[in-house]
Structure 1
């Protein structure tokens, strides 16, 4: 893989969602003053504050009856961009940045830097336990010869298509496939690749995180999760350490993506405006 290809930003990149998660030991939820302080520190990029509810269900055995389900609703602050395409959530055990308007890793890294400094200034977590970068791609290609199902081996590496030849021998057309592969980068780093052909959308547009939706149709999903997890000890919540780790996690993501797509996809789809 050439250095030029590594630096290339495709005009029609298929990224529909990118997320960064920094998980840390459990903290007290931000109080009203801390939320106000956080809002002031991120308002130039994420000016719209809101509150999200997260519902969890627990089942407890009754002393003299059937198990009882209990719902617990937890609220946490969230900030979004004016177009509702980039969001920050701050939970007691993590912060998560999500965007459907990726642009470039440099843009997201700059936002991460600002968010980390703000979190550190408002209420510093005790350490960092996990850092994850997730990319979801929807690869869509032009229809050919009136077929409703693309010939995916023309666009992605054949290793992602599984035993498609079995269907061909039985005059059956494969329309959905799904697989997962886990790569280890050492004791504390792994990359998970989920992939497969499907229809419509891998990521929906929601009121909380919007995305432009193309017409529904066949797509090939690439879902790459590159993450680091503290192995022996939990390091301090240090901004430079987290950014360096994010850079290291980002490095193999592009390599995996480039390795599983074809030159035809690059030339006919990704490099077209």
Structure 2
């Protein structure tokens, strides 16, 4: 069931696409993309990305301190094109395109056309043959204005401590990879966040749905995105409780 919230906990929504190249990567391609999108994304900067860890694709630039997603170690340059308020980004690296929307997040109806816009303009310049992988990720920050809570009252995807041990947890992190038959895999990460001067309890709910299998035509991306979004949305609702929904002020 799809629900809408007055105060959605999304701090970042992003879509990362890996392409099957149709031609050798050319360092001038990002500039060609920028010429097409500069009216909406006038700012640009370059970022060196360092990958390390257990990961399925390239690491995205998130400030959330959970473990990165690859088993390899690599460094490459990523060009970022930003909106005037720097809340929306299109990022380009060799055969890689990422669209980021930072808080405040409005809706899928706003994010999906932005992803399509980025794919269209990337494809004009890079002319990829197909899409290897899509990752649709929503990073949620759940803030609870209490000094101490029972995790299960707010987040169902949480650690279970054996009864002989003390049942209080200061900091925790948990990761699961859940296959969805041929549709893809859900990477579910949950945890707690400790920050200096923090009041209350903060939990993290990080949902990343990744397609699997053979490369597919660019024309099929819309259907793949809808499946990914539905699975992420269903997983979000399955992981939270009615007490959590009250924090977000559900719109009925």
TM bucket normalised to smaller: 0.7 to 0.9
Of the three residues 97, 100, 115, the one matched with 2:99 is 97
The reply to whether residue 194 of structure 1 matches residue 193 of structure 2 is no
- Using structure 1 for the length normalisation, give the TM-score: 0.74
- 1:29, CA displacement in angstroms? 3.8
Aligned to 2:70: none
Aligned to 2:216: 235
- 1:70-109 counterparts in 2 under 5 A? 74-101=76-103, 102-109=105-112
The reply to whether residue 263 of structure 1 matches residue 246 of structure 2 is no
Aligned to 1:130: 133
- 1:150, CA displacement in angstroms? 2.3
Asked if structure 2 preserves the Cα contact closer than 8 Å seen for 1:200 and 1:217, the reply is: no
Aligned to 1:247: 226
* Cα RMSD after superposing both structures: 2.8
Aligned to 2:119: 116
Asked if structure 2 preserves the Cα contact closer than 8 Å seen for 1:138 and 1:220, the reply is: yes
Q: Which runs of 5+ in 2 are unaligned?
A: 53-72
Aligned to 1:160: 158
Q: Secondary structure at the match of 2:4?
A: coil
Aligned to 1:22: 17
Return the alpha-carbon distance in structure 2 between the equivalents of residues 24 and 260 of structure 1. 31
- Using structure 2 for the length normalisation, give the TM-score: 0.79
Q: Deviations over 1:59-86 (max 9, x none)?
A: xxxxxxxxxxxx9864342201112222
Would the alpha carbon gap of residues 25 and 216 (structure 1) be closer, same or farther in structure 2, given more than 3 Å must change? farther
Asked if structure 1 preserves the Cα contact closer than 8 Å seen for 2:89 and 2:101, the reply is: yes
Return the alpha-carbon distance in structure 2 between the equivalents of residues 219 and 164 of structure 1. 23
Q: Secondary structure at the match of 2:99?
A: strand
Q: Secondary structure at the match of 2:230?
A: helix
Return the alpha-carbon distance in structure 2 between the equivalents of residues 161 and 39 of structure 1. 45
Would the alpha carbon gap of residues 263 and 164 (structure 1) be closer, same or farther in structure 2, given more than 3 Å must change? farther
Aligned to 1:150: 149
Asked if structure 1 preserves the Cα contact closer than 8 Å seen for 2:192 and 2:203, the reply is: yes
